[in-house]
Amino acid sequence: MSTVFFQSLPSPVTPIAEQAPPLQSGDRLTRDEFERRYSVAPSHIRAELVEGIVYVMGPPVSEQYHAIPHGDFVTWMGVYKIYTPGVQLYDNATVRLDSDNEFQPDAALRILPEFGGQSRTRDNFIDGAPELVAEIAASSASYDLGEKLKVYRRAGVREYVVWRTWDGAIDWFSLQAGQYVPQSPDQQGLHKSEVFPGLWLDPAAMLAGNGVRVIEVLQQGLATAEHAKFVTDLATKFRSLE
């Protein structure tokens, strides 16, 4: 009886030229190359392209200094979105701002394009600047208040809100004549959005974790004539596009 020997063949290897190198902080990439590498990166990796430079942010995520504030911001913005048809809330969505900058803001409020918003949707991504962006930053030294702020300003994000968790402060910037102007709370101690009428924030309550007070103040804003008019205006713009 003859003996037959089987030789196992090596598994095919993807040529080096076809592999996507890993994303590394400091890499200088085009947006297309950044997206190619990001699409095959491990699922826990979060990265942004800032002025053509890669910033990789991975775990761990602090409970006290990021996860909880993030959730509180999203809850506040989410309630507003529910009562404002034509406005959408995004949590960690990819935003293509220009050819050198692709961010993943912690949260964003956007007027949908069919309701007259300034950004567009392409390939299931946001193209252009949402009207309002919110970020959780550690302190005033964070790049959220450095390079990213400059890019958001240049791209036309109309309001930029940053919660500095280590500093215990919330910064609210309004785009005026191409520059970000810090907005102080009014005499009632409240921030009131100029872009999204009725989006009111009690920063002291937010910083203290007093969610009941935060939502109470927001509901006051939602009950105003300004918010009702905004909803009507959005609906009118939608109908005009039909």
Q: Would you list the DSSP string of 55-114?
A: EEE-S---IIIIIHHHHHHHHHHHHHHHTSTTEEEEES--EEEETTEEE--SEEEEE-GG
CB 196 within 8 Å of CB 134: no
For the chain, how many residues are written?
242
Q: What is the pLDDT of residue 241?
A: 54
Q: What is the pLDDT of residue 58?
A: 64
Q: What is the pLDDT of residue 223?
A: 98
Residuewise pLDDT in 10s, the chain (242 residues)? 444 443 444 444 444 445 677 777 777 888 988 888 888 888 778 888 888 888 887 666 678 888 999 999 999 999 999 999 999 999 999 999 999 999 999 999 999 999 999 999 999 999 999 999 999 988 777 788 988 999 999 999 999 999 999 999 999 999 999 999 999 999 999 999 999 999 999 999 999 999 999 999 999 999 999 999 999 999 999 876 55
CB 149 within 8 Å of CB 173: yes
Q: Would you list the DSSP string of 14-38?
A: --GGGSPPPP-TT-B--HHHHHHHH
Q: What is the pLDDT of residue 19?
A: 67
Q: What is the pLDDT of residue 65?
A: 86
Residues 131, 18: Cα–Cα separation, whole Å: 38
The pLDDT tens digits for 64-77 are 888 999 999 999 99
- E strand or H helix at 175: strand 169-176
Amino acid of residue 50: V
Which domains, ranges and CATH numbers included, belong to the chain? Answer: 24-57 (no CATH), 63-240 (3.90.1570.10)
C-alpha angle 143/149/150, rounded to 5°? 110
CB 114 within 8 Å of CB 105: no
| Mean pLDDT over the full length of the chain | 88
List the structure tokens of 108: 């964003």
Q: What is the pLDDT of residue 205?
A: 98
Q: What is the pLDDT of residue 15?
A: 44
Q: What is the pLDDT of residue 4?
A: 44
